Copies of this chain bind each other. A is one copy, B any other.
């Protein structure tokens, strides 16, 4: 009888990262599938999950880096990657498009790396879609941030002394984060409008009670992302958005193209056209921002409009963000192991092949 496959869960070390790759409920599921789990002591302290919740779920505490399969949220640092065993596997947001040096290091170390962002966005892989699960968190938090910074109510308020109208919220870029931002702003009582260069999302925008802003520029791409606009299209888009944005109290932007600088959707002039007390929440800060005035990771006030570009919003809600991510990781692990719980990836499977960015399946 061979030893069980060991899954290792390190502490995340990136600044501000409060998530953890596995939660106790998922540890239980892995144990029942015949895998062992080693959790670094304190790995989930920032997510407010105590070590004993992991041991109660069947994990042991110890060095996670010697495991057969290490599961992380963020890509490992160079020091961390050096701790991985040759022949080990690794799951995480490995950033293959934006951090190729990290991928090369893993390849040289003989590690089979599975990047969750490279999982093909097909129906069968929905349960593994960590980009979507974390984007749900980011979109929800973005709407809360907009409400927090606005000097006005989101909902219509009817009082004995009169009525205040609902806030008008515009979401630019309607993927999972944008839809969740629209849905949350609408729940809070705002009048919502969505804009995207992919005409096929208009129906989804309407399904969450929002209006569809049609600027006549269409740029559907592949894998659910938009293609990059031509210069002329971009100029026309900025011009038309600039006119539209002045009519909104809050603008939430989420437009990103994988591996590229985020498109500039909100110019400084458009911000100047907003009413004092308005808000721009820019979720594309990690790739440079959608708003010309954004300072990624910071908040600026310009012309009495607050422009905030928070980084890593999922980490601000670590319990549920970790829980959703852990379920995605579980679904991927279930695809990588055989009935006895041994790692036996089938690189003929398009999900496994797609996710694998270093090693045998790349």
Q: Does A319 contact B (CB under 8 A)?
A: yes
| A312 vs B136: C-alpha distance when bound (angstroms) | 32
Tell me if A150 and B189 are in contact (CB < 8 A). no
Pick the contact of A126: B48, B126, B160 (CB < 8 A): B160
Is A127 part of the binding interface, using a Cβ–Cβ cutoff of 8 Å? yes
State the CA gap A320–B160 with chains docked (Å).
15
Instruction: Known contacts A148-B144, A151-B48, A187-B187; decide if A320 and B161 are in contact (CB<8 Å).
Output: no
Whether A327 lies near B127 (C-beta < 8 A) is: no
A152 interface residue per 8 A CB criterion: yes
Which residues of B sit under 8 angstroms from A157, Cβ to Cβ? Answer: 136, 320, 324
How many interface residues does A have (CB within 8 Å)? 44
Q: In whole Å, how far is A345's beta carbon from the nearest beta carbon of chain B?
A: 20
Inter-chain contact B319/A48, CB cutoff 8 Å: no
| Contact call B187/A324, Cβ cutoff below 8 A | no
- Asked whether, in the complex, the Cβ of B317 is within 8 Å of the Cβ of A161, the reply is no
A128 within 8 A of B: yes
Complex interface bits, A193-222 against B, C-beta within 8 A gives 1, otherwise 0: 000000000000000000000000000000
Contact A151 B317 (CB under 8 A): yes
Interface residues, chain A, CB within 8 Å of chain B? 47-50, 126-129, 132-133, 136-137, 140, 144, 147-148, 150-153, 155, 157, 159-162, 164, 184, 187-189, 276-277, 304, 317-320, 323-324, 327-328, 330-331
Considering the complex, give the chain B residue whose CB is closest to the CB of A164.
B320
Q: Would you call B328 and A161 a contact (CB within 8 A)?
A: yes
Q: Is the CB–CB distance between A327 and B161 below 8 Å?
A: yes
> Which residue from chain B places its CB closest to the CB of A276 in the assembled complex?
B48
What residues on B are CB-neighbors of A159 within 8 Å?
A: 132-133, 136, 324, 327
Query: Shortest beta-carbon distance, A251 to chain B, in Å?
Result: 17
